[in-house]
Amino acid sequence: MLHIGVGNLTARYSQDIFNVAFGSYSWVYNNAGQKQVSVVLLGDDALSEMGEEWPATYKFHARILDFIRARKPKAVMIDFLFLGHCLDSTAKELVRILKKYKRDQIPVYLAVSQPNDLESISRAFQIKQNVDIADYVIPVSVVKKTDATDFVDRQYPLKGMFAKESEQEINSAAYQIYQDFELQSQDIYTQNIELFWGVGQDPINSKWMGSDCQDTWYNNFQRVLYAGLEKLDYKCIYTRSLSALDLLTFGVSNDDIQAVLNDKFVFYGGNILGSGDIATTSLHTMLPGIYYHAMALDNLLTLGEHYKRRSLAPEQYYLYNTFLILMFFSLATFSYYIRLQYDECIYNQLRTRLNQNHQWLYYYSLHFLVSFLIIISFSIVSFYFFNLAVANWLGHTSLIATGLSDKVVTHAVSITKTIQEWAD
C-alpha cells in the first residue's frame, strides 16, 4: 500500500516504535492470548543434563510430550521436523505417547516444511513401526515470511509458502489451531498477519528472567530515541514459557508448571545452538523460532477477525478510498479556509511591527489542531475498522502540516528582513 509521507522502511521502523511504546496498553493489544498460549523450550542445557545429543532420540521427545500431556493442555504443536530417514529404535515410544494424546482427545500438530514431509514420515513409521503416524498428528506449515528490507519477522502467512509446482496447501501452525478451536468450517481470512509482538510482562517469565523483565516500555522508548532501534533489544519474553529441563527436573513449582501447561495451547520447540531456527521480532530481539508461531496464535486469539494486516480485503477498497478522499478533502478545505483569513494587513504589520500582532500564530495553531484531529480520526478508523497495520497509515500524519510550510517560510523571511532592517 501507499505510505504517504514516509518511505517503506521508515514506515516499518515507525511501526516497531509504536509497538514498543503502546503495545502494553489494552486499547491497543490486550492479554487475552497471553493467558492461553505457552511455550516449552528444549535447549542445550536439557540435552546435556539428560545425557542426550542432538538430534535428540524420539524416546526423549516422547518423555517431554508425556509430561505435557499429563497436565491436560488444549493442544500441542511440535516444532521439530521428524524426518523419516532419521527414525531411531526408540520411535515406538513416540508412537505410544501419541496414542495417549489421541485417547485423551488432545490434538497434536506436527511441523512440516514441505507438503510431502508427512507422507515421508508416515511411510517410514509404517515400515519400521507398522503404524501410520498421520493418524495421530495434524501437519502444519512452519515456513516463515521475513521482510526482505531488514530481515525482521513482522508477517505471518496463513498458508504454507511452498514451491510453485506444488498444488498442495497446508495451513500454518497458528492458523490451523485457531481454525480448529474456533470451530471455523472454512477459510475466512486471506491476508497475512502483521504480527504485533507483545511487550507486557508475564509473572512466571519474570521469575526466571529476572532483571531482563524489569525494563518498562518507557526505558525502551528512551533507548530508541537516543540510540536507535538497533539498541532496543527488548529481552523480556511475552509468551509464558518454561524450559524442558525445568519440567523434567521440577526446577519450578508444580503450580507454575500447571499455570504454563494446563488448558493451554502449548508450543514445543527448540533453542539449540547452531540450529538456525531463529525469529527476529519487531522489538529487534532474536528469539527461538517457536515464538514466531506462538505469537501468531496469540494475535489471532487476542484480535480475532480484527488481526492487523498489511493490505485491505478486496471488499474494503472502495470504502477505504472513500475515507481517504474525504480526509484529503477535509484537509484541503480547511487549509483553504485558513488561507482566506490571511489578508495583506497581517503581512504588512509583521513587516513593520514584529511583535504587535500575533494573529498568524493563532491561525497556525488552529490549523495544526484541526489537521491533527482529522488525521488522528482517520488513523483510528484505519487501525480499528479496516484493521490496517500501523505502517500503512502512520505516514499520513505528515499531512498535518499541509498548507503551513509555505506560510511559515514566508513569516520567517519577513521576520528575518525586519531584524536586518532594525540592525541596519
Q: Kindly report, residue by residue over 366-384, the tens digit of the pLDDT.
A: 777 877 888 888 888 889 9
Q: How many residues does the chain have?
A: 424
pLDDT at residue 165, rounded to an integer = 46
pLDDT at residue 161, rounded to an integer = 56
More confident residue, 165 or 46: 46
Lowest average pLDDT, out of 129-138, 159-168, 232-241, 391-400, goes to 159-168
Give the residue-averaged pLDDT of 25-36: 90
Is it the case that residue 5 has pLDDT exceeding 60?
Answer: no
pLDDT at residue 329, rounded to an integer = 81
pLDDT at residue 345, rounded to an integer = 45
What is the Rg, in whole angstroms, of the alpha carbon atoms belonging to the chain? Answer: 28
Is it the case that residue 415 has pLDDT exceeding 70?
Answer: no
More confident residue, 5 or 285: 285
Beta strands at 37-43 and 75-78: parallel, antiparallel or unpaired: unpaired
pLDDT at residue 19, rounded to an integer = 83
For residues 39 and 240, the answer to whether their CB atoms sit within 8 Å is: yes
Lowest average pLDDT, out of 55-69, 185-199, 257-271, 378-392, goes to 185-199
Among 98-102, 278-282, 413-417, top mean pLDDT goes to 98-102
pLDDT at residue 175, rounded to an integer = 93
pLDDT at residue 20, rounded to an integer = 79
pLDDT at residue 351, rounded to an integer = 47
More confident residue, 87 or 114: 114
pLDDT at residue 403, rounded to an integer = 53
pLDDT at residue 172, rounded to an integer = 92
Rounded to the nearest integer, the mean pLDDT of the chain is 79
More confident residue, 145 or 206: 145
Residues contacting residue 89 through CB under 8 Å, at least 6 positions apart: none
Q: What confidence category does residue 117 fall into, taking pLDDT thresholds of 50, 70 and 90? A: confident
Is it the case that residue 231 has pLDDT exceeding 60?
Answer: no
Is it the case that residue 406 has pLDDT exceeding 70?
Answer: no
The three cell numbers of residue 31 are: 492479554
Q: What confidence category does residue 356 fall into, taking pLDDT thresholds of 50, 70 and 90? A: very low
Angle between helices 91-103 and 117-129 (to 10 degrees): 110
Is it the case that residue 81 has pLDDT exceeding 90?
Answer: no
Is it the case that residue 317 has pLDDT exceeding 70?
Answer: yes
Q: Which residues of 27-44 are buried (b: 16+ CB within 10 A; e: fewer)?
A: ebbebebbbbbbbbbbbb
Is it the case that residue 408 has pLDDT exceeding 60?
Answer: no
Give the residue-averaged pLDDT of 43-53: 90
The three cell numbers of residue 12 are: 516499518
Is it the case that residue 82 has pLDDT exceeding 50?
Answer: yes
Among 148-152, 281-285, 296-300, 348-352, top mean pLDDT goes to 296-300
Positive or negative: CA dihedral 268, 274, 280, 284: positive
Residues contacting residue 327 through CB under 8 Å, at least 6 positions apart: 374, 375, 378, 396, 399
pLDDT at residue 410, rounded to an integer = 57
Is the backbone peptide bond immediately before 55 cis, with ω within 30 degrees of 0?
A: yes
Q: What confidence category does residue 419 fall into, taking pLDDT thresholds of 50, 70 and 90? A: low
Task: State the maximum Cα–Cα separation within the chain, in Å, rounded to a whole number.
Answer: 101
Share of the chain above pLDDT 70, in %: 73
Lowest average pLDDT, out of 167-181, 269-283, 349-363, 370-384, goes to 349-363
More confident residue, 373 or 60: 60
Residues contacting residue 419 through CB under 8 Å, at least 6 positions apart: 354
More confident residue, 348 or 133: 133
CA distance 48 to 138: 30
Q: What confidence category does residue 186 fall into, taking pLDDT thresholds of 50, 70 and 90? A: low
Is it the case that residue 124 has pLDDT exceeding 80?
Answer: no
More confident residue, 320 or 350: 320
State the SS3 of the chain.
Answer: CCCCCCCHHHHHHHHHHHHHHHCCCCCCCCCCCCCCEEEEEEEHHHHHHCCCCCCCCHHHHHHHHHHHHHCCCCEEEECCCCCHHHCCCCHHHHHHHHHHHHHCCCCEEEEECCCCHHHHHHHHHHHHHCCCHHHCCEEEECCCECCCCCCCCCEECCECCCCCCCCCCCEEHHHHHHHHHCCCCCCCCCCCEECCCCCCCCHHHHHHHHHHHCCCHHHHHHHHHHHCHHHCCCCCCCCEEEEHHHHHHCCCCHHHHHHHHCCCEEEEEEECCCCCCEEECCCCCEEECHHHHHHHHHHHHHHHHHCCECCCCHHHHHHHHHHHHHHHHHHHHHHHHHHHHCCHHHHHHHHHCCCCCCHHHHHHHHHHHHHHHHHHHHHHHHHHCCCECHHHHHHHHHHHHCCCHHHHHHHHHHHHHHHHHHHC
